[in-house]
Amino acid sequence: MSKLTITHSSRAIVPLYISGRPLPIAPDRIFPIINAAQDKITHYAQAASVPEALSASASLLEESTTSIAATHSLETSAHPSFANFLPGAAAAILREVAGSLSTALTGSIPPGTGNDPSIHVLIEKKNPSALFF
């Protein structure tokens, strides 16, 4: 397999949606992403630039944290024990978004496949904390 290095300006296969379904746009450019350790599709990706992927992930993070804050406000006023639970939920979402961002940075593709949307692309998981210096 050839090594694919994605730079900031690259057109490459990067995750734009991380909940297990492809985006509803550009279905001809959707690629299944296989987690090599689990040997199964873990999410879908779309050919796009790295900045587009980062922007999409940042939007998801903003929506998620806004939703958690609203839920936290409602539930803690109803019962204080929810105050201890929801920060853990927020942390889980942050880890998921960080994982999707780190997945976008490097990966491997079979040589000679070009942009064939039927290929399975193996993406290496990287350390999410490296993205937040």
Interval 10-20: pLDDT, tens = 344 444 444 44
Inter-axis angle of helices 82-103 and 50-78, nearest 10: 170
The pairs formed by 65-70 with CB atoms below 8 angstroms and a separation of 24 or more are: 65/90, 65/93, 68/93
Mean pLDDT of 40-56: 55
In this prediction, residue 80 carries a pLDDT of 55
In this prediction, residue 5 carries a pLDDT of 39
Residue 132: pLDDT over 60: no
Overall domain count for the chain: 1
Report residue 5 CA to chain centroid gap. Answer: 17
69-101 pLDDT, tens digit per residue, is 666 666 556 555 555 555 666 666 666 666 655
Structural domain boundaries enclosing 95:
2-132
The residue behind tokens 């379904």 is 21
